[in-house]
């Protein structure tokens, strides 16, 4: 669906802020549009603890509104995506092929405050993906279960468009020590706080480089399960990162 520019530009510019969304919701409700209620319901759900008495009622209403209006609200965005998730009233999380993402990124980010991107079919498209300026609009990028390997990790490490990514998932991506060293040495991840690297091909040398990097110091969560890092590597990581590392 098309949103009035006077509201939607502010939502796109400030995707973490509820205020522009709630202002738009008020206008929608004044015009009898059910999207206004949906935005309010989801914004409230996002703020409430899971055990709050109102959660069940709000979730029930959320499901009712989605059942009736989801296809209308998604519109032809659905043709560009394999799946999507609404958060705080808008499509914020998407899953699609890398080819579709590269072909439609401009339209996707113009029409929804997308924050989380999950991609498949990365293998032969990692170079244009790493060169896509639209990556800077995402706060979470999931490339897990794709053939990324060391060369792909190097390309991602050298991409200036990942500067706003807070979460990066490269689990089961065939990355070895050379790729891990490139990620650890990158200066392009200033906001990265969560790094998922389970089920790769790391050994002691890659782990040592990561443990002593500035990247390790800024991470709040590091997953390295199912890698052959050895007892010495595990001890080093636990000494450097403590409970932030999951082995």
pLDDT in tens, 202-237: 999 999 999 999 999 999 999 999 999 989 999 999
Measure Cα distances from 224 to 81, 87, 117, 170, 230 in Å: 30, 29, 21, 10, 12
Q: What is the pTM of this model?
A: 0.95
Give CB contacts under 8 A, 24+ apart, made by 131-137: 131/159, 131/161, 132/101, 132/102, 132/105, 132/161, 133/161, 134/105, 134/106, 134/108, 134/109, 134/161, 135/159, 135/161, 135/162, 135/165, 136/161, 136/162, 136/163, 136/164, 137/109, 137/164
Distance CA 10, CA 14 (A): 6
The whole-number average pLDDT for the span 141-166 is: 98
* HEC profile of 150-181: HHHHHHHHCCHHHCCCCEEECCCCCCEHHHHH
Q: Which CATH superfamily is domain 121-246 in?
A: Ribonuclease Inhibitor (3.80.10.10)
Could you tell me the residue ranges of all domains in the chain? Answer: 121-246
The whole-number average pLDDT for the span 133-148 is: 97
Does residue 150 surpass a pLDDT of 80? yes
Does residue 82 surpass a pLDDT of 80? yes
pLDDT band at 73 (very low <50, low <70, confident <90, very high): very high
């Amino acid at each position: 669906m098309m949103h009035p520019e006077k509201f939607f530009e502010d939502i796109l510019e400030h995707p973490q802020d509820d205020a522009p969304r709630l202002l738009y919701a008020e206008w929608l409700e004044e015009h009898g549009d059910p999207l206004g209620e949906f935005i309010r319901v989801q914004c409230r759900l996002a703020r409430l603890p899971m055990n709050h008495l109102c959660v069940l009622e709000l979730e029930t209403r959320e499901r009712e509104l989605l059942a009736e209006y989801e296809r209308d609200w998604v519109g032809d965005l659905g043709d560009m995506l394999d799946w999507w998730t609404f958060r705080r009233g808008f499509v914020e999380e998407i899953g699609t092929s890398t080819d579709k993402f590269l072909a439609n990124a401009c339209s996707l980010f113009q029409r929804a405050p997308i924050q989380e991107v999950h991609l498949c079919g990365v293998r032969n498209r990692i170079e244009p993906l790493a060169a896509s300026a639209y990556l800077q609009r995402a706060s979470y990028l999931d490339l897990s279960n794709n053939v990324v390997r060391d060369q792909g990790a190097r390309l991602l490490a050298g991409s200036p468009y990942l500067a706003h990514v807070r979460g990066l998932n490269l689990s089961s991506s065939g990355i070895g020590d050379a790729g891990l060293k490139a990620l650890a040495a990158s200066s392009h991840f200033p906001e990265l706080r969560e790094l998922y690297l389970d089920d790769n091909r790391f050994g002691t040398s890659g782990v040592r480089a990561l443990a002593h990097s500035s990247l390790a110091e800024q991470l709040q969560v590091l997953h390295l399960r199912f890698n052959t890092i050895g007892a010495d590597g595990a001890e080093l990581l636990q000494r450097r990162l403590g409970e932030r590392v999951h082995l």
